[in-house]
Chains A and B, each alone.
Chain A
Amino acid sequence: MAGFFAHAGTAVVVWIFQLSMIPILVWFERKASAFMQDRTGPNRAAVAGIRLGGVIHTIADVVKLVFKEDITPAHVNRFYFNLAPFMAMTVALLTFIVIPIADSLVVGSTTLHLQALKIDAGLLWIFAVASFGVIATIFAGWGSNNHYSLLGGVRSSAQMISYELAFGMSVVGILMVFATLDLNEIVRGQGHLLFGFIPMWGFVIQPLGALIFMIAAVAEVNRTPFDLPEGESEIVGYHVEYSSLKFALFFMAEYVNVVVASAFTTTLFFGGWQIPWLPTETLEAHASKVLLITCAAIAVGAVALAFVSMRWSRSLKALYTDSRRREGDIWAGVLLAVAALAAAGGILVLLHPLEGIAPSVFARLAQAGAFFGKVVFFSFLFIWVRWTLPRFRYDQLMSLGWKNLLPLALANIALTGIILRLLGR
């Protein structure tokens, strides 16, 4: 029973994380791109003067998309047309559930797996479910009964199928090294140290595999520089005919896919929930100390940010006359409250060190935090790459996938095999 609750709880956490990452990624996309191009980006929409640096615009967007008229053109194949956006979103949400967000927790005689779906072939589940995304694209392109949609759908599915090969082959190296398909075991295997001081993360022992995987992942989720399916300057792509919430579903599925791809990258090549140099046992043994350091860091960081907010508040007051002029003060207050809370927590931990099951639970929470932090970083990397590189031409895309990445992935498998043989494993 406890095991069921662990799975269900993890599923809820993971889905909430995925869905709440959508507005954050949209915000990253706008604000980061703006700053990269020397613009200021969104800073107008506000709730009672609180603008959150433009996050409120995303809420305004959602309201707009929900209340727009949902047009189903007369010429479409209704069944496939309506199925496609829901399928895209479902597939995007289903892939994440096999990924462990923290190490398994042993309570008494039961082991709680912090993994919504605990199956031994987790790696295969990812590839099996993720390839359904192509079908959603084909349905959308075909069901729209529009030449541009169809071209976009065909192009998109050709791209995704081509890169699925390199995507799958690049992971075989990891599979050979860790000799398991269980994702939690793979992550636990990355906790060892190489030569005694380098964490044995996937990208250290499989650099070529990691590189190919990340490039193929960008192509797989249709992001720039491989975003030919939605190349707005040439053809608009498979979602031309969609409007309102159905378009929003495609749009959100893209961001969920980004999160999922980042989570795979993290799990397979960047240590998953591992905190470098702090394996689970060490973390449990020194839980109080780590918590104390965390509290201190949060308190100091919040105070520093509060000072920045106060300085910012002065420039706001010079610029605005409405409720926005108070925003800096409000943030300073919130940050000081956070700092006070963290300091109080730190003092509490100092007086009453963690004992019993608390250190283990804290260790899992810290690992989950590390995992989600890494996922957010890699999601940002997707956006960062998007606003740096121009789009590939279709023939360049295909030649990169088939003539470069696939042979390199195969060579990587051979090389890994030879090295493993020489090491006698």
Chain B
Amino acid sequence: MKIPSPEMRWHERIYLFEVLRGLGVTIRHMLGNIARQHEMPTYQWPEQKKPLPVRLKARHRLTLREDGSPKCVACYMCQTACPARCINIVAEDSPEPTIEKRPRIFDIDLLRCVFCGYCVEACPEDAIRMDTGEISVVSHKREDFILHMDFLLRGQGTEYMQPEPAAEAATVKGKPIPPPDTPEEALEGYEAATKPPVPSSW
């Protein structure tokens, strides 16, 4: 299909005045941005953190029971579901009489992980979550990217939702941040959204 181009006037056809108009547009943007740099849309990461969406799939963590033992029962559901085969679990007997197994080794290779979140979906115990808000995982060594169980259990999660300690966090781009949800509130919302409804016959 031929798209008809608009008829150009003589001053548009000689292009010169349009060039001047274009120069005006660019210099207006440049001077305006120099004068009002703090209003520019860029976030100066990592000093200026962009608020992350609550459902973002970030680095994993393993959750704990009330008594402090890992919730994981080493059922291998996440390892089976993982399309990148980045989870490695070795099970052992659990000392608790009501629980059959617990993991002896629970490794996640972040260099293989594709952050699909299938492990979280597969977990029947809500033992693995991806709510730490850690989106920049960096190191100089490959070994550092294989996360072991003690590290995964220590990651408390929801770090990014907690109010930051200094007064620095009071503003983002000149506007006050809305008061962040407390971790408990955020977790409640997260659990309600991710957990399947429990049948009443259980």
Contacts and interface: CB of A to CB of B under 8 A. Distances in A.
Pair from one complex: yes
Interface of A: 32, 35-40, 43, 211, 315, 318-321, 384-385, 387-389
B178 interface: no
A399 B199 CA distance: 78
A388 B34 contact: no
A90 B80 CA distance: 66
Given A36-B29, A388-B23, 6 more contacts: A35-B34, A36-B33, A40-B42, A318-B168, A320-B47, A321-B47
B194 interface: no
A388 B33 contact: no
Given A39-B42, A319-B48, A385 B23 contact: yes
A38 B19 contact: no
A388 B29 CA distance: 11
B48 A387 contact: no
A315 B29 contact: no
Interface magnitude class on chain B: 20 to 34
Nearest to B171: A318
Nearest to A32: B30
Contacts of A387: 26
A319 B29 contact: no
Contacts of B168: 318-319
A384 B47 CA distance: 31
Interface of B: 16, 19, 22-23, 25-27, 29-30, 33-34, 37-38, 40-42, 44, 47-48, 168, 171
B5 to A, nearest CB: 15
A40, A211, A315, A385, most chain B CB atoms within 10 A = A40
A2 B67 CA distance: 92
A321 B25 CA distance: 37
Contacts of B40: 38-40
A260 to B, nearest CB: 22
A388 B42 contact: no
A42 B122 CA distance: 44
B22, B27, B30, B48, most chain A CB atoms within 10 A = B30
A416 B42 CA distance: 53
A384 B26 contact: yes
**Lowest 9 CB-CB distances: which A-B pairs, in order?**
A35-B30, A35-B33, A36-B26, A388-B22, A40-B42, A388-B26, A36-B30, A319-B47, A36-B29
Nearest to A387: B26
A384 B40 CA distance: 20
A37 B41 CA distance: 11
A101 B44 CA distance: 43
Contacts of A40: 37, 40, 42, 44
A319 B22 contact: no
26 contacts: A35-B29, A35-B30, A36-B26, A36-B27, A36-B29, A36-B30, A37-B29, A39-B40, A40-B37, A40-B42, A211-B16, A315-B38, A318-B168, A319-B44, A319-B47, A319-B48, A319-B168, A320-B47, A321-B47, A384-B26, A384-B27, A385-B19, A385-B23, A387-B26, A388-B22, A389-B22
A388 B30 contact: no
B41 A38 contact: yes
Nearest to B18: A389
Contacts of A384: 23, 26-27
Contacts of B19: 385, 388-389
Contacts of A318: 168, 171
A384 B25 CA distance: 11
Contacts of B16: 211
A389 B26 CA distance: 10
A32 B40 CA distance: 14
Contacts of A32: 30
A43 B47 CA distance: 13
Nearest to A312: B37
A384 B27 CA distance: 8
B43 to A, nearest CB: 10
Nearest to A324: B47
A39 B25 CA distance: 15
B52 to A, nearest CB: 19
Contacts of A35: 29-30, 33-34
Contacts of A38: 29, 33, 40-41
Contacts of A385: 19, 23
Contacts of B23: 384-385, 388
A35, A37, A315, A319, most chain B CB atoms within 10 A = A35
B25, B29, B44, B47, most chain A CB atoms within 10 A = B47
A37 B30 CA distance: 8
Contacts of B47: 319-321
A211 B16 CA distance: 10
Contacts of B38: 315
B35 to A, nearest CB: 10
A315 B173 CA distance: 10
Nearest to A386: B26
A321 B44 CA distance: 13
A304 to B, nearest CB: 14
A130 B180 CA distance: 64
Nearest to B41: A38
A36 B30 CA distance: 4
Contacts of B26: 36, 384, 387-388
A36 B37 CA distance: 12
Nearest to B32: A35
A300 B88 CA distance: 68
